Structure 1
Amino acid sequence: MTRTATLKVPGATLYYEVLGNGPTLLIIPGGPQDAGVFAELSAALADRYTVVAYDPRGNSRTTFDGAPTPLDVAQQADDAAALIAAVGSPAYVFGTSGGAQIGLDLAVRHAQHVRALVAHEPPTMMLLDDPGPHVAANQALYDTYVRDGVDAAMGQFFSSNGLGGEAPPPEFEMPPEAMETFARVSGNFEYWLAHGMIPLSSYVPDVDALRASTPRIVVAIGEQSVGQPIHEMSLGLAARLARDPVMLPGDHMGFETLAEPFAEALHRALQD
């Protein structure tokens, strides 16, 4: 049974969910995602890990003490470290997309809390030989948000990244839990566009520290992401770390669309 709880951290109260038994596995969501996106993945891993999924600061059921503040990767990593310390340290860590960026910062500055990190498709565009086109694309996305609003910007984002982000067709019946998650995550789009997208994508991992770090760092790429911008970015990080990337099932959202095979492949990546 999933257990829910909150943790007070400086400036916010984190909402998190715990499922299973075994060593701690912390899941760090990307962008506007929250713990609900990982329900099936958590269930598939609960026989091997105490799986902890949470809503990052700025998203869903995690609340600020006052007005929302811009996303800060180091602060987000501090939140993740506090959560690991509260639940059971050290932890295996799976971070996806912007959550992988947070995981990379966590592995450098809070290495004592991390057994191993699987960084799944981090948007490490600043490690590319020429990040200029990606920086320009992010600025264009932000400009669309400011000029035309959330829906237009998210449509632009999904289209340019080969992702399906539209609402399900009317005849498609989602389970109530999935509908609730969809509504929460959609409600996070504005915070991500206004305060999170650029800080997460412009974060520059400390490659030298990561190469020398005690936690093992695994760069993971979706098998179906080849040809997408995130594939190029992930390869850039792997090259800087001088490590071969691990391929995982599906695309950028493989952990949700192919939860069971993804869980098996993630388990192998964490333990190899």
Structure 2
Amino acid sequence: MTGKQLAAHFTVYNYDRRGRGHSSDTAPYAVEREVEDIESLIHEAGGSAYLFGSSSGAVLALEAASQLGSQVQELFLHEPPFIINDSRSLESERPNIHHNRGKQRAVFR
């Protein structure tokens, strides 16, 4: 689902994460700065929001929800790069993390 499709039902804020697209970053990199960026966007959106994240953005959305509590109403996480059991090693997953185009989805409440 794209931002355009979601915009039919929600107000969508689509932004370039730090160091990506047209966005810059301040060294050293810190996840906390990215969570602060999300918190600023949530504030501009009225104080609470649903978050969508894909791949590393899914992990970031999960971290933001953990830190921001009730400001995050719901999460939709697409292909977070987690290994949740001993069925394979991290080293065997690395080449596939950004190239896996499966349809696995997880919704957390």
Is TM-score (shorter-chain normalized) higher than 0.5?
A: yes
Asked whether 1:163 is paired with 2:87, we answer no
Checking the alignment, whether the CA contact within 8 Å between 1:57 and 1:76 is kept in structure 2 is yes
Q: TM-score by structure 1 length?
A: 0.34
Secondary structure at the aligned position of 1:119 is classed as strand
Secondary structure at the aligned position of 2:2 is classed as helix
Asked whether 1:47 is paired with 2:5, we answer no
Checking the alignment, whether the CA contact within 8 Å between 1:74 and 1:105 is kept in structure 2 is no
* In structure 2, C-alpha distance between the alignment counterparts of 1:114 and 1:137, rounded to whole Å: 30
The structure number with the bigger radius of gyration is 1
1:169-208 map, 5 Å:
none
Instruction: Give the structure 2 partner of residue 212 of structure 1.
Output: none
1:1-272 map, 5 Å:
41-64=2-25, 68-125=26-83, 127-129=84-86, 133-135=89-91, 138=94, 157=95, 160=96, 163=99, 225=102, 245=106
The one-letter code of the counterpart of 1:163 is H
The one-letter code of the counterpart of 2:51 is V
Cα RMSD (Å) of the superposition?
Answer: 3.2
Gaps of 5+ in 2: none
Q: TM-score by structure 2 length?
A: 0.76
Deviation at 1:161, TM superposition (A): 5.2
More helix by share: 1
* In structure 1, C-alpha distance between the alignment counterparts of 2:37 and 2:98, rounded to whole Å: 31
Checking the alignment, whether the CA contact within 8 Å between 2:55 and 2:98 is kept in structure 1 is no
Secondary structure at the aligned position of 1:69 is classed as coil
1:137–1:41 Cα change, 3 Å: closer
Deviation at 1:137, TM superposition (A): 5.8
CA deviation map 1:80-115 (0-9, x unaligned): 111111232210111111001001111111012111
Secondary structure at the aligned position of 1:115 is classed as strand
Gaps of 5+ in 1: 1-39, 139-156, 165-223, 235-244, 247-268
Checking the alignment, whether the CA contact within 8 Å between 1:73 and 1:102 is kept in structure 2 is yes
CA deviation map 1:217-251 (0-9, x unaligned): xxxxxxx627xxxx6xx7xxxxxxxxxx46xxxxx
Deviation at 1:59, TM superposition (A): 0.8
The one-letter code of the counterpart of 2:17 is P
Instruction: Give the structure 2 partner of residue 181 of structure 1.
Output: none
1:128–1:113 Cα change, 3 Å: same
Deviation at 1:61, TM superposition (A): 1.0
Stretches (4+) displaced over 2 A: 68-75, 127-131, 135-138, 160-164
Deviation at 1:45, TM superposition (A): 1.8
The one-letter code of the counterpart of 2:35 is A
